[in-house]
Structure 1
Amino acid sequence: MGTHPTRPFDPTRVAHLSGAFAPVTEEVDEVGLRVEGRLPDGLDGTYLRNGPNPRFSPIGSYLYPLDGDGMLHGVWIREGTVRYRNRFVRTPAVLAEERAGRALWGGLESLVMPREPDVPADLADTFKDLPDINVVRHAGRLLALAESGCPFRLSPDLDTLGRETFGGALPAGITAHPKTDPRTGEMVVFCYGIEPPFLTWSVIGPGGEVRRGPTVIETVDEPMMIHDMALTARFVVLVLAPAFFDIEGAMAGTGSFVTWRPERGTRILLVPRDGGPVRQASDEAYWMWHTVNAYDLGEDESEDERAAGDGGTGRGGRSGAGNVVLDYVQWDHLALGPVSGGPNPGGLVRAVIDPEAGTMRRTRLDDSAIELPRIDDRLVGRRHRRLAAAAGSGTRDLLPGEHDALRWYDVQGGGSELWPAGDLSVGEPVFAPTPGGADGEGHWLTFATDRTDGASWFLVIPADAPASGPLARIRIPVRVPLGLHGTWLPSGEPAAGQRR
């Protein structure tokens, strides 16, 4: 394919390239940031966030949230002082475009790829690396993660060190949403592909060694889009919604890059971590971007606890020991870019899956418009009580991916709290636990950008009174575009520790 799009494309008409989403190109370092309010004692570490940020004006197409070069934004808090730095993830494609001074790859929908001599032979007619979704640290590796591909390793100061293949053991890459078991230190990953094998899973040990190489999940025999996963003590939990890739049709102009086929329904796969046979349950079609968490219902739980695990409030049904509970944000169908494809009611949903019977029962816990849910990551794979999510206040129309409120849930006791952010567009809330504190003790962190003047802030919100809003606001020296996922890295955390 050539270096120019085959159909007219005007990036100025793309909603997700303007306003609070508009990319920035300047890389900034600044120390001694101004703090409004009071930073809590013990909040000492680094907050990082990744997100799509085209280095040059896009050509061909632009599809949020899948397109765009990765840019990391970091806030370092040390003994009450704060500094900020942002850096592009410099993949080989970004370096080639910087040499050319313009975009050479088109968006995923246009499939525009450069040829020689515009790029070296090893980059000609290839897809662009897009490590713009998430950032995690595991076993001393700081990784910028793509939708499904090789992550890129970063230095502690966010310089790009190169493509990470885990010693060549995972050459096809991993998901943008690995899950680290806080009890074992293992990081469990999956990877989907547009060619066989269409879906694999792997395990990376706490020291960074690949304990289980790519293991094919045979029940998937065609290319599907799978964004997130969950983990329990026994299972890797994968939600297979009917979003199918049609690369040949897209290249020929006869099909879409991703096609929604609701007649195929949605499956949940339970992949035993011990390598046993895959279990699955099916239901009517729905889409899921993000899980909250999953856990096993244990033999040692009381009947009341099992009932609470079923419905989230202690009032829903019964569920036997051995079942799997999955909380997630549900949508009626897949929607990409600014067009929703019609009403798409979402909300917080709990699915209880019986691995033996192959059945699932879903309960809608709340129908509020939320996304980007997070828990205290020390509870990954275990029963959680509280979660936070970006939300809508209901007072204005927002683009997909834009939120003007944060919402917190108590899924055991029931109820939720909302903090309307006013003129601020807020991002994913990330939990920073209080050192030595109990589960749930700490603060929620996020970036926010004022829609009226473009000013960006780093917010610190108390977990014990989140609806009261930030107790500290830190002015960021540049606008931080709305992005995707982040992580909190406490100072002094062991290199092989869990994702924070």
Structure 2
Amino acid sequence: MNTQTQPRFDPTRVPHLLGSFAPVTDEVDVVDLEVTGKIPDSLDGLYVRNGPNPRFSPIGSYLYPIDGDGMLHGVWLSKGRAHYRNRFVRTAAMVAEERVGRALWGGVESLILPGADEVGPELADDFKDMPDINVVRHAGRTLALAEAACPFRVDAGLETVGKEDFGGALPAGITAHPKIDPVTGEMVVFCYALEPPYLTWSIIDPTGVVVRKATPVENVDEPMMIHDMALTERYVVLVLSPVFIDLEAAMTGGSFLAWRPERGTRVALIPRDGGQTVWASDEAFWLWHTVNAYDEAPDAGAPVILDYVQWSRLTVGGDSSSSGAEPVRCGLVRARIDPTTGRMSRTELDDSRVELPRIDDRRIGRSHRFVALASETGHAGLLPGEYNAIRWYDTVGDSSRVWSSGSLSVGEPVFAPEPGQQSDEAGYWMTFATDRTDQSSWFLIIPAGDPTAGPIARVRIPVRVPLGLHGSWLPN
């Protein structure tokens, strides 16, 4: 049965269900895509991106980017040619909805849950799996990741294999942003929950075995939303912005997420060897995504450097500047945290409006030079989460370079290194883009050595790819 009376909800008035964000329902498979320019012969692998894509028209509520079914969009590159395929991540809840041809679960803010008479006892009165945020590969497994739940494993053709609980070792699941240490091969994960323990972290070894089971993070005594993490050689870095999950308020028509700036923001440095957590704190800020973190020096006790995109307050859905509130501010920020004293200082590196930051993944946990970010150039009419440029920030030169995409709305840039080369200027940045004038979608390949020159290859995607979230380059 439903937990509350279904509220009035009109999905045709939700901006993130319209235009370049609108979901698609057809699954297609097309080889030999049209290419403008030339795909480098050295690129041999799969670029795959996940994102919210409701299979049926939502009921109750829709909160971007949390709600929605997962859809994977893949572009296979080999010998200068490209092949596209998209597939839904088929959860048990989606299959149940497909049987009746309509949505049965409401969005997270409406708490509409079907009863046993509609979906059977195993799915009744429980939240829907939504592995719609990210996709990674580790230990031979390709995983579609949810905000905070078990991921779903998919095969080489993006067909769903099933829910992944890592041999029963992580039954509560993980969040959408694990970090894979490029040196050790370990995947470090965390998860937040509605019941104690509210926050845990774990380690999965290079073979896929959970070698540290879910370990509670101390001094976390109520449910909080924490979207991303960072990793250094010594520490797991978790940023606890004051965003609390308020089920009681949601049950009575209020907000599922509560922004409480008076609580400030805390940062946990958790030793990867299981030692005592170090806490730092500062005035309230929100982050969706970290860039990277690293130990400033090899000496024990060296400060931790954390780069991230900082928001002045929580932004979710279409709310980037609530009525009566100060305009939300964002920018690229560097924090320096002393693990001995817990003191933290912050420096703004770039005040441009940016999001979806990525580095060369081979630099995760180690110092990095270049950061690529989706960016705005002041174009009127862009929705929250829509970007019309890519910006590259140079942490060594303290400078930025920008490629303006014109009528294209671009997504997260992902780095594909040139095989056999170690420089993060030897490779290519990849992203999906959709033309706002005709809703055509493209896959762009931009040279890392000269990114402001724009794409050296534009691959025409045969269907529109909704603006979405996170992806990976999976070389063969």
TM-score interval for Structure 1 and Structure 2 normalised by the shorter chain: over 0.9
Distance 1:134 1:84 in 2: 18
Q: CA deviation at 1:252?
A: 2.8
User: Given that residues 301 and 339 in structure 2 are in contact (C-alpha distance below 8 angstroms), is that contact kept between their aligned partners in structure 1?
Assistant: no
Distance 2:423 2:238 in 1: 26
Letter of the structure 1 residue corresponding to residue 285 of structure 2: Y
| TM-score under structure 1 length normalisation | 0.93
Deviation string for 1:310-336 (max 9, x for gaps)?
A: xxxxxxxxxx96100000000000011
* Structure 2 gap ranges (5+): none
Distance 1:413 1:104 in 2: 52
Distance 1:88 1:395 in 2: 32
How is 1:139-178 mapped onto 2 (pairs within 5 angstroms)?
A: 139-178=139-178
How is 1:38-437 mapped onto 2 (pairs within 5 angstroms)?
A: 38-253=38-253, 255-299=254-298, 322-340=302-320, 341=322, 342=325, 343-437=327-421
Deviation string for 1:278-324 (max 9, x for gaps)?
A: 00100000000000000001147xxxxxxxxxxxxxxxxxxx96100
- Which of 422, 431, 439 lines up with 1:454 in the alignment? 439
Deviation string for 1:246-301 (max 9, x for gaps)?
A: 11221133x4200000000000100000000000100000000000000001147x
Distance 2:120 2:217 in 1: 35
Distance 2:219 2:39 in 1: 50
| Secondary structure, aligned partner of 1:461 | strand
Change (3 A) 1:4 1:321: closer
Distance 1:26 1:83 in 2: 16
Distance 1:366 1:488 in 2: 27
Letter of the structure 2 residue corresponding to residue 455 of structure 1: S
Q: Is 1:443 aligned to residue 428 of structure 2?
A: yes
Change (3 A) 1:449 1:206: same
Q: CA deviation at 1:44?
A: 1.0
Distance 1:415 1:330 in 2: 18
Partner of 2:455: 470
Distance 1:207 1:321 in 2: 31
User: Given that residues 460 and 473 in structure 1 are in contact (C-alpha distance below 8 angstroms), is that contact kept between their aligned partners in structure 2?
Assistant: yes
| Secondary structure, aligned partner of 1:287 | coil
Q: CA deviation at 1:41?
A: 2.9
Root-mean-square deviation (CA), in Å? 1.2
Distance 1:439 1:93 in 2: 44
User: Given that residues 3 and 251 in structure 2 are in contact (C-alpha distance below 8 angstroms), is that contact kept between their aligned partners in structure 1?
Assistant: no
User: Given that residues 5 and 60 in structure 1 are in contact (C-alpha distance below 8 angstroms), is that contact kept between their aligned partners in structure 2?
Assistant: no
Change (3 A) 1:331 1:471: same
| TM-score under structure 2 length normalisation | 0.97
Distance 2:391 2:397 in 1: 15
Deviation string for 1:115-163 (max 9, x for gaps)?
A: 1221011101010101000000000000000001000000110111110
Distance 2:251 2:151 in 1: 26
Count residues with an aligned counterpart: 471
Change (3 A) 1:270 1:4: closer
Letter of the structure 2 residue corresponding to residue 425 of structure 1: S
User: Given that residues 5 and 59 in structure 1 are in contact (C-alpha distance below 8 angstroms), is that contact kept between their aligned partners in structure 2?
Assistant: no
Distance 2:238 2:226 in 1: 8
Distance 1:397 1:361 in 2: 35
Q: CA deviation at 1:81?
A: 1.6
User: Given that residues 39 and 81 in structure 2 are in contact (C-alpha distance below 8 angstroms), is that contact kept between their aligned partners in structure 1?
Assistant: no
Distance 1:226 1:468 in 2: 36
* Structure 1 gap ranges (5+): 301-319, 492-500
User: Given that residues 63 and 317 in structure 2 are in contact (C-alpha distance below 8 angstroms), is that contact kept between their aligned partners in structure 1?
Assistant: yes
